[in-house]
């Protein structure tokens, strides 16, 4: 098609005619924008990866409320789409059987099942014998159990995409095939770029919004606009056998992740799909030009052992002939989460890519989320786990992507036992004191690309840890470090934290405008604050330190790095202010515990007494001969200090603090101490769907300020009285069970919410977490909590619990201000 036949403008241009792009266009149409939406496909609809997708429509297996909701919505949409459009989707709710082949998977699936039942998924645990009745071709004598979801099933990806595109057209969306987009046009407005159109050959379609839904091409298209979308194609395999007696279109879908395989009927034969533990990236340098309906030559030698394991689970497949052995490309991301949202720094540029082989079963719900995000200007679900702004530049490097992709595909079917790690593409970022972490026997894990120490085995020791859902053998080391912080003084390396210096005459006004707290007061003062959207919901949880009238220090978590930068870019406008990313050039060392003042006093001439250096003081001092920004603040609930200093002085200070009596402690201690104190962590126990008052952070909001983003919404919300939904602390009274995430919290036997994040509380004597609870039609008060009998469902077993709005550890903050 020539550019002359295309429209001159549209409000939204969706690029990519796979199932994701078609769903976004469909939902934009249903939101009333259809007449102003154009969908462009470079070849034919589905020609990228959708055409060869296996077509599973399965909801089971996620601890994410967002992901579960997306899949449940998709399933319902696919069931009803044919009635709306007259186009079949091939959806059949034949049921899913998920096999648990070992006790670790059984524990995981029982926890998942309890959580997802609460969200509306009909799932039941069944015995191996019952698996055999539902799917008699499977070998079941060595299985532990299974989980049956009768409403799950299968769908035809090509028919589904066709139906979505037809539904979009019925709402006015214009769909064009054979139209390749060369680039996205932008122009700078203030300090942000804004989308102005898409370039097609010699022409331009003007638009306000672009959606990059180009699948495995998304990285390359985004790169033309200077955006980071680090998805990479990988080889993905399945085979289809000759006809097998008894198999039919109503045969359930069967999955055995431990055998790397999924199994469903296809044309009277059995489809055996694979997620092998060690995969192969496909052209990480870039998708070959002209690729469409791509088939890759299978690597039989590499895949042979994995294929044998998968087929042995369903022995009849070893006897039947093989009709098709297929290999095609599918794109994966470095963390196995999709890449979705408005790209940082470019207004109107949305991304929906990196589906990690679950694009078909996610497409309906994800299309709704993206369309709603565009129309309303904000997402209506928690997107902290898959927002496009979470990635760093190093993750776009070809070597990194190629290496990580070989491992990440295998994690689709890996057991998700707590403590499991990724080991590929490690060491991207090393702290200035990394050698000391290793020398002290630090058990290292990846923290947003950095190597952080979870706990320490001791000098000269090699730390070892076996993933487990329960108490681990290394927990004695963790407990000892926890008690060091509670009773003595610990030193923790947190150089991975996101650190920014905001300077200039307009810096104070900018930060005070985006902060709910008053951050532009007296110099040498740190303020804990939130950044909110216009509805008063959370966008960031951080600290802002005023060093001088034109000099501010902003610190956020490692995961919030990109989002904080994007939020500042959104609001900086024409302010006379400059934002400098200091994350890699400044170290952060935390000295925490009741003896922290004593230790630091031996290393400086500065007066650190309570009167001269009270809580929330921030001041440059000389410490062990190094100029350090010393901030009296804590994230563990004790007297403590955060030390910020240029990276080249970090080793000197680290050694001096250890020499003065501090002991190295790891990130597990940070987790257990902060959870005992009830401190929040954005992206884990609070997210963009939470109102700041519901999150229990109203104390950090200053409604006396003349103006800040979200002020009117917070004032209106507060005027309604005590909210019905609030974040509370939960502790199990039995010291044995362990909380991790997504455990249901019950009041008088009825589900009131679930645990957002948890740890073990060594001082409190049991597992402790933060849970968002809903009191229904009444205010959630302390009296309402006291009036109930509380339990927590841990893998199907109810354990007694206590709940509290106030911190269970040092509720009056006496230890912090000592």
Q: Which residues pair with 125 in a beta bridge?
A: 147
- The 10s digit of each residue's pLDDT in 655-692 is 999 999 999 999 999 999 999 999 999 999 999 999 99
- Rg (the chain; Cα; Å): 27
Six-digit token pair at 672? 């257990």
Element housing 363 (H / E)? helix 359-376
Q: Is-contact 179 13, C-beta < 8 A? A: no
Strand-pair category, 153-154 with 322-332: unpaired
- Using DSSP, state whether 17 is helix, strand or coil: coil
Per-residue pLDDT, averaged over 749-759, amounts to: 98
pLDDT of 3 higher than 90: no
- The 10s digit of each residue's pLDDT in 265-299 is 999 999 999 999 999 999 999 999 999 999 999 99
Calpha distance 242→810 (Å, rounded):
67
Closest by Cα among 3, 10, 8 to 209? 10
Question: What is the pLDDT at residue 300?
Answer: 86
Backbone angles phi, psi at 341, to 5 degrees: 125, 180
Closest by Cα among 466, 421, 461, 473 to 444? 421
Supply the pTM of this predicted model: 0.97
- The 10s digit of each residue's pLDDT in 633-649 is 999 999 999 999 999 99
Closest by Cα among 95, 91, 68, 88 to 78? 91
- The 10s digit of each residue's pLDDT in 767-784 is 999 999 999 999 999 999
Calpha distance 515→524 (Å, rounded):
17
Closest by Cα among 546, 555, 561, 532 to 503? 546
DSSP E strands in 153-288: the ranges are 153-154, 174-177, 183-189, 192-200, 203-206, 209-212, 232-241, 253-256, 261-266, 269-274
Question: What is the pLDDT at residue 189?
Answer: 85
Calpha distance 87→620 (Å, rounded):
68
* DSSP per-residue string spanning 241-263: ES--TT--TTPPEEEEGGGTEEE
Calpha distance 117→125 (Å, rounded):
12
Calpha distance 446→431 (Å, rounded):
12
Element housing 707 (H / E)? none
pLDDT of 448 higher than 70: yes
DSSP assignment letter at 117:
H
Per-residue pLDDT, averaged over 291-318, amounts to: 96
In the chain, the percentage of residues whose pLDDT exceeds 90 is 98
Q: Is-contact 757 695, C-beta < 8 A? A: no
Q: Is-contact 563 550, C-beta < 8 A? A: no
In the chain, the percentage of residues whose pLDDT exceeds 70 is 100
CA distances from residue 285 to 131, 217, 288, 398, 727 in whole angstroms, order as listed:
44, 11, 9, 6, 45
Alpha helices in 411-518 (DSSP H): 434-439, 475-487, 507-514
Six-digit token pair at 354? 């990196």
Q: Is-contact 232 281, C-beta < 8 A? A: yes
Q: How confident is the model at residue 719 (pLDDT cuts 50, 70, 90)?
A: very high
Q: Which residues pair with 767 in a beta bridge?
A: 760
- The 10s digit of each residue's pLDDT in 354-364 is 999 999 999 99
pLDDT of 650 higher than 90: yes
Element housing 662 (H / E)? none
Q: Which residues pair with 727 in a beta bridge?
A: 772
Calpha distance 545→618 (Å, rounded):
7
pLDDT of 4 higher than 80: no
Per-residue pLDDT, averaged over 743-754, amounts to: 98
Calpha distance 569→647 (Å, rounded):
26
Backbone angles phi, psi at 369, to 5 degrees: -60, -50
Question: What is the pLDDT at residue 790?
Answer: 98
Q: Is-contact 509 515, C-beta < 8 A? A: no
DSSP E strands in 91-220: the ranges are 96-100, 124-126, 145-149, 153-154, 174-177, 183-189, 192-200, 203-206, 209-212
Q: How confident is the model at residue 190 (pLDDT cuts 50, 70, 90)?
A: confident
Element housing 42 (H / E)? none
- The 10s digit of each residue's pLDDT in 202-218 is 999 999 999 999 999 99
Residue reference for tokens 């200070």: 653
Question: What is the pLDDT at residue 191?
Answer: 79
pLDDT of 546 higher than 90: yes
Q: Is-contact 150 2, C-beta < 8 A? A: no
DSSP assignment letter at 395:
G
Structural domains of the chain in order of their starting residue, each with its CATH number: 1-92+152-230+333-391 (3.50.50.60), 722-818 (2.40.30.110)
Per-residue pLDDT, averaged over 308-319, amounts to: 97
Per-residue pLDDT, averaged over 404-424, amounts to: 96
- The 10s digit of each residue's pLDDT in 221-233 is 999 999 999 999 9
Residue reference for tokens 């054979």: 178
Per-residue pLDDT, averaged over 704-721, amounts to: 97
Give the CA count within 13 Å in the CB-facing half-sphere of 251.
23
DSSP assignment letter at 734:
S
Per-residue pLDDT, averaged over 79-99, amounts to: 97
Calpha distance 308→302 (Å, rounded):
11
Question: What is the pLDDT at residue 114?
Answer: 98
Closest by Cα among 47, 46, 41, 26 to 165? 26
Averaged pLDDT of the chain: 97
Per-residue pLDDT, averaged over 510-536, amounts to: 98
How many other CB atoms are there within 10 angstroms of residue 612's CB atom?
10
- The 10s digit of each residue's pLDDT in 584-636 is 999 999 999 999 999 999 999 999 999 999 999 999 999 999 999 999 999 99
- The 10s digit of each residue's pLDDT in 364-380 is 999 999 999 999 999 99
Per-residue pLDDT, averaged over 8-20, amounts to: 98
Q: Is-contact 727 757, C-beta < 8 A? A: no
Question: What is the pLDDT at residue 83?
Answer: 97
Residues near 414 by Cβ (< 8 Å), separated by ≥ 6?
Answer: 257, 277, 420
Element housing 519 (H / E)? none
End-to-end CA distance of the chain: 74
Closest by Cα among 687, 394, 381 to 557? 687
Q: What angle do CA 393, 396, 398 make, to 5 degrees?
A: 135
Question: What is the pLDDT at residue 208?
Answer: 98
Question: What is the pLDDT at residue 769?
Answer: 98
Q: Is-contact 240 324, C-beta < 8 A? A: yes
Per-residue pLDDT, averaged over 479-508, amounts to: 98
Per-residue pLDDT, averaged over 797-809, amounts to: 98
pLDDT of 141 higher than 80: yes
Per-residue pLDDT, averaged over 302-313, amounts to: 96
DSSP assignment letter at 218:
H
Q: Is-contact 621 519, C-beta < 8 A? A: no
Element housing 72 (H / E)? helix 65-85
Helix, strand, coil % (nearest 5) of the chain?
A: 30, 30, 40
Closest by Cα among 360, 363, 336 to 279? 336
Calpha distance 402→283 (Å, rounded):
8
């Amino acid at each position: 098609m020539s550019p002359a036949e295309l429209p001159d403008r549209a409000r939204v241009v969706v690029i990519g005619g796979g199932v994701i792009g078609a769903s976004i266009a469909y939902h934009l149409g249903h939101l009333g924008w259809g007449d102003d939406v154009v969908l462009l496909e470079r070849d034919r609809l589905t020609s990228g990866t959708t055409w060869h997708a296996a077509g599973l429509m399965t909801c089971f297996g996620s601890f994410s409320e967002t992901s579960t909701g997306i899949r449940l919505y998709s399933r319902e949409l696919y069931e009803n789409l044919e009635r709306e459009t007259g186009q079949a989707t091939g959806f059949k709710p034949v049921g899913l059987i998920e096999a648990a082949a070992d006790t670790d998977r059984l524990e995981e699936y029982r926890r998942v099942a309890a959580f997802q039942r609460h969200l509306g998924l009909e799932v039941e645990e069944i015995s191996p014998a019952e698996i055999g009745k539902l799917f008699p071709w499977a070998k079941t004598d060595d299985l532990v159990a299974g989980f049956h979801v009768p409403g799950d099933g299968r769908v035809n990806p090509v028919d589904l995409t066709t139906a979505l595109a037809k539904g979009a057209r019925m709402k006015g969306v214009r769909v064009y095939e054979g139209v390749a987009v060369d680039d996205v046009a932008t122009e700078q407005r203030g300090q942000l770029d804004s989308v102005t159109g898409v370039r097609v050959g010699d022409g331009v379609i003007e638009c306000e919004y672009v959606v990059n839904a180009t699948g495995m091409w998304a990285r390359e298209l985004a790169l033309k606009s200077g955006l980071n979308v680090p998805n990479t194609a990988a080889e993905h395999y399945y085979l289809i056998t000759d006809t097998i007696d008894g198999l039919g279109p109503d045969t359930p879908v069967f999955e055995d992740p431990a055998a790397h395989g999924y199994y469903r009927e296809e044309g009277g034969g059995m489809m055996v799909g694979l997620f092998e533990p060690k995969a192969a990236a496909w052209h990480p340098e870039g998708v070959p030009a002209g690729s469409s309906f791509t088939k890759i030559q299978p690597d039989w030698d590499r895949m042979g052992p994995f294929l044998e394991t998968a087929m042995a689970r369903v022995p009849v497949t070893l006897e039947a002939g093989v009709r098709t052995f297929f290999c095609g490309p599918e794109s994966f991301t470095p963390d196995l989460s999709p890449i979705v949202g408005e790209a940082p720094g470019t207004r109107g540029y949305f991304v929906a890519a990196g589906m990690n082989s679950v694009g078909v079963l996610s497409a309906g719900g994800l299309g709704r989320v993206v369309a709603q995000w565009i129309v309303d200007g904000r997402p209506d679900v928690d997107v902290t786990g898959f927002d496009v702004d979470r990635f760093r530049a190093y993750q776009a490097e070809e070597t990194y992507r190629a290496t990580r992709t070989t491992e990440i595909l295998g994690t689709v079917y890996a057991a998700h036992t707590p403590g499991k790690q990724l080991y590929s593409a490690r060491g991207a970022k090393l702290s200035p004191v990394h050698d000391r972490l290793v020398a002290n026997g630090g058990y290292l894990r990846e923290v947003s690309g950095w190597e952080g120490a979870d706990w320490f085995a001791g000098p000269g020791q090699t730390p070892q840890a076996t993933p487990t859902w329960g108490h681990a053998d290394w927990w004695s080391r963790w407990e000892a470090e926890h008690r060091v912080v509670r009773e003595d003084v610990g030193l923790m390396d947190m150089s991975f934290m996101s650190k920014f210096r905001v300077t200039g005459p307009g810096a104070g006004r900018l930060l005070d405008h985006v902060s709910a707290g008053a951050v532009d007061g007296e110099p040498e003062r740190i303020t804990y604050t939130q950044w909110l959207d216009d509805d008063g919901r959370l966008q960031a949880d951080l600290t802002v330190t005023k060093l001088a009238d034109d000099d501010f220090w902003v610190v956020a978590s490692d995961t919030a790095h990109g989002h904080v930068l994007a939020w500042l870019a959104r609001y900086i406008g024409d302010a006379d202010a400059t934002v400098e990313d200091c994350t890699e050039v400044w170290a952060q060392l935390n000295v925490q515990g009741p003896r922290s003042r004593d230790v630091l006093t031996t290393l400086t001439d500065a007066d650190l007494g309570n009167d001269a250096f009270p809580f929330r003081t921030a001041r440059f001092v000389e410490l062990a001969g190094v100029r350090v920004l010393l901030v009296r603040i804590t994230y563990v609930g004790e007297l403590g200090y955060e030390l910020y200093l240029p990276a080249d002085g970090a080793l000197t200070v680290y050694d001096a603090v250890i020499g003065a009596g501090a002991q190295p402690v790891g990130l597990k201690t940070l987790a257990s101490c902060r959870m005992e104190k009830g401190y929040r962590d954005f992206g884990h126990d609070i997210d963009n769907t939470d109102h700041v008052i519901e999150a229990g952070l109203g104390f950090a909001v200053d409604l006396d300020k003349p103006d800040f983003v979200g002020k009117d919404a917070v004032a209106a919300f507060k005027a309604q009285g005590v909210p019905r939904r609030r974040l509370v602390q939960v502790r199990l009274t039995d010291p044995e069970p362990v909380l991790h995430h997504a455990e249901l919290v019950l009041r008088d036997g009825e589900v009131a919410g679930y645990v957002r994040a948890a740890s073990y509380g060594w001082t409190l004597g049991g597992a402790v977490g933060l849970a968002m609870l809903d009191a229904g039609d009444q205010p959630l008060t302390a009296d309402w909590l006291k009036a109930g009998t509380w339990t927590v469902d841990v893998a199907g077993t109810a354990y007694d619990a206590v709940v509290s709005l106030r911190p269970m550890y040092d509720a009056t903050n006496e230890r912090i201000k000592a």
